[in-house]
Amino acid sequence: MLPTRFSEKEYLNEIYLKNVTLSNLWKRNAAECPDKVALVDSKTRLTWQAADIWIDRLALGLIEKNFNKNDVLVVQLPNCVFLNLFRVACERAGCLCLPLNIAFRRKEQEYTLRFVNAKGVVIPHEFRNFNFLEAINTLSRKIESLKHIFVVGDPAPEGAISVENMVSDPIEKRYPENFLERTQCSAMEFSTIMTTTGTTGFPKFVEYPICSRMQVAKELSEKWEFTDQDVVAILAPSGGGPNVAGYLAAPLVKAGVVILEHFDSEEALNAIANERVTIVTAVPTMLIKMIAHPDFKNYDLTRLRLIVSAGASIPFETAQKVEKMMGAPIVQFYGSVDSALNYVTLPKDSQEVRLRTVGKLAGKIDVQLIDDEGAAVSEGETGEIVCRCRGEFSGYFNDMRSTLQAWDADGWFRMGDLGRLDEQGNMRIVGRKKDMIIRGGQNIFPFEIEDMLSAHSKIRDVSIIGIPDREMGERACACIVANCRDEKISLKEIVAFLKQKGVSAYKLPERIEIIDQMPMVAGGQKKDKKALVHRVLGKMKAEGINLL
């Protein structure tokens, strides 16, 4: 299960928590603080002891349904306690858990279930006007491997298995006390398959050894000074990004976790205030929506001590405003599901470091910034981020071709992001390499312009995209969400604003589009620039503009 690029000895030299599993942490917490609240969502509140009992029952229930070593259970749930519990239960049962984006529909569902040969799937009956049961029932008749449909919430209809019935059945009384010790995964194996969050095509499925995940948890909990007195709010959808703090670091230190089923600014503010949350994990768009809430000042956020922002860069002026209004420092976390790379800012870092960079490396990782030819760039120059580390993910599940292509001959993994190091070794993310705009041979980095425009009093959110041009190759277009729906914003006004900030002429947007809301991908974690380009090109075509 470990990366075949290294020997086990080499791999373990990079790992400190060699024998720690998520399952054992939950078992330890149930023994040492049984009555402390571990998980809260809109419907359920569980102590560590109660949660551990439910995990055992889910694990034993899977075994009774003939889930064997390395069988795959796809879990497509909104944020809820069961999404968390199934991750741990699969580890105990020795099978594999694949949390799937709740926003995925039939096309992505069928691709995933087929690709991983899923034996079972966990779904809500319905969620946000989509009938998951109907969709999965249709797919089950076409996918031979899919044997079991587990349903959370509504009473399970005929042919489906009720998760609520599973956790209410004292199945553990029918088994020896230590039965699950025989089946559970070791720290050297992987029990969770994570999906990549790319904006094009279908996701890839990442194998992540448990010891590597625990290593990340250790680094983050130490860097951000997590304790058992903390309460962590998970606001972003399931997956990587900021949720690493809630899913991995919190159990390590016995911190409680509050989970928001679907992000809504009012519900988020209520949860933070009512559950006395100390640490919020979110993506920038969520932070922007919370501070824009008309009743923001009526919520008590005085217990909040830290805001973890990840998944996308947050503009400096916006971040300053969030910190001032929410009364807590923002720390940033940069990495990806399919790499071992972790850059982290610390609460004690200056605001300039915390908000303009993603900080310094956490862990033993080699990093380079390279140009298009693969050569290292000069000091202070922008380049594509590549990394090399033994304590990384083991590969892509059922996809040897992608696994072999992920690294070059010398073991370097391409992140696809452009970055620049400052004199203190802090990394500043400039943007995605594929999003870079090349105008007349000169490079425009969208985030640089987005960062400045976020300070404009009329702008709530902005995304800079490249549109094709016969003369220059590409030109920049600013897609803007105004603070007020009827706000008038002109291209002339935007250009004047940027010129005052000293922006070079070739970087100035040459078109603007005012939109009601920003399209998002990855369950709301990243802006969908592909959708924006499609929209603008369609409008330009309707206007009779010849792009060829």
pLDDT > 80? residue 1? no
pLDDT > 60? residue 322? yes
Q: Characterize the bridge pairing of strands 279-282 and 231-234.
A: parallel
pLDDT > 80? residue 389? no
- Average pLDDT score over the chain: 89
- Among 102-116, 223-237, 256-270, 387-401, name the one with the lowest average pLDDT: 387-401
Please give the distance of CA 545 from its chain centroid, rounded to a whole number: 38
Q: What is the Cα gyration radius of the chain?
A: 24
pLDDT > 80? residue 292? yes
The DSSP code sequence of 87-144 is HHHHHHHT-EEEE--TT--HHHHHHHHHHTT-SEEEEESEETTEEHHHHHHHHHTT-T
Question: In which band, very low, low, confident or very high, does the pLDDT at 344 lie, cut at 50, 70 and 90?
Answer: very high
Of these ranges, 193-202, 254-263, 461-470, the one predicted with the greatest mean pLDDT is 254-263
Higher pLDDT, 394 or 531: 531
Buried b (16+ CB within 10 A) or exposed e, 106-141: eebbbebbebbebbbbbbbbebeeeebbebbeebbe
Question: In which band, very low, low, confident or very high, does the pLDDT at 547 lie, cut at 50, 70 and 90?
Answer: low
Please tell me the predicted confidence (pLDDT) of residue 199.
Answer: 46
- Return the residue matching tokens 């870092």: 349
Please tell me the predicted confidence (pLDDT) of residue 16.
Answer: 58
Q: Distance (Å, rounded) from C-alpha 284 to C-alpha 459?
A: 15
pLDDT, tens digit, for every residue of 149-169?
999 987 778 889 999 999 999
**Per-residue CA distances from 295 to 277, 370, 542 (Å):** 18, 47, 41
Please tell me the predicted confidence (pLDDT) of residue 349.
Answer: 96
Region 255-274: mean pLDDT is: 95
Please tell me the predicted confidence (pLDDT) of residue 73.
Answer: 98
Question: In which band, very low, low, confident or very high, does the pLDDT at 400 lie, cut at 50, 70 and 90?
Answer: confident
Q: Characterize the bridge pairing of strands 279-282 and 459-469.
A: unpaired
Please tell me the predicted confidence (pLDDT) of residue 524.
Answer: 61
Do 81 and 259 contact (CB within 8 A), yes or no? yes
- The number of C-alpha atoms within 13 Å of 393 and in the hemisphere containing its C-beta is 29
Higher pLDDT, 462 or 242: 462
pLDDT > 90? residue 18? no
pLDDT > 80? residue 2? no
Please tell me the predicted confidence (pLDDT) of residue 200.
Answer: 47
Instruction: With residue 311 as reference, give the H or E element that holds it.
Output: none
Helix (H, G, I), strand (E, B) or coil at 253: helix
Question: In which band, very low, low, confident or very high, does the pLDDT at 7 lie, cut at 50, 70 and 90?
Answer: low
Higher pLDDT, 439 or 441: 439
Q: Which amino acid, residue 372?
A: D
Q: Any bridge partners for residue 308, and if so which?
A: 281, 331
Instruction: With residue 298 as reference, give the H or E element that holds it.
Output: none
Tell me whether residue 31 is exposed, middle or buried, using C-beta atoms within 10 angstroms of its C-beta: 0 to 12, 13 to 18, 19 or more.
Answer: exposed
End-to-end CA distance of the chain: 50
Phi, psi of 158 (to 5 degrees): -55, 135
pLDDT, tens digit, for every residue of 494-525?
999 999 999 888 999 999 999 998 988 755 66
- Return the residue matching tokens 């879990």: 75
Do 498 and 508 contact (CB within 8 A), yes or no? yes
Instruction: Spell out the domains of the chain, with CATH numbers in brackets.
Output: 22-185 (3.40.50.980), 439-542 (3.30.300.30)
Of these ranges, 3-7, 304-308, 335-339, the one predicted with the greatest mean pLDDT is 304-308
Phi, psi of 482 (to 5 degrees): -80, 155
Helix (H, G, I), strand (E, B) or coil at 448: helix
Q: Distance (Å, rounded) from C-alpha 226 to C-alpha 281?
A: 13
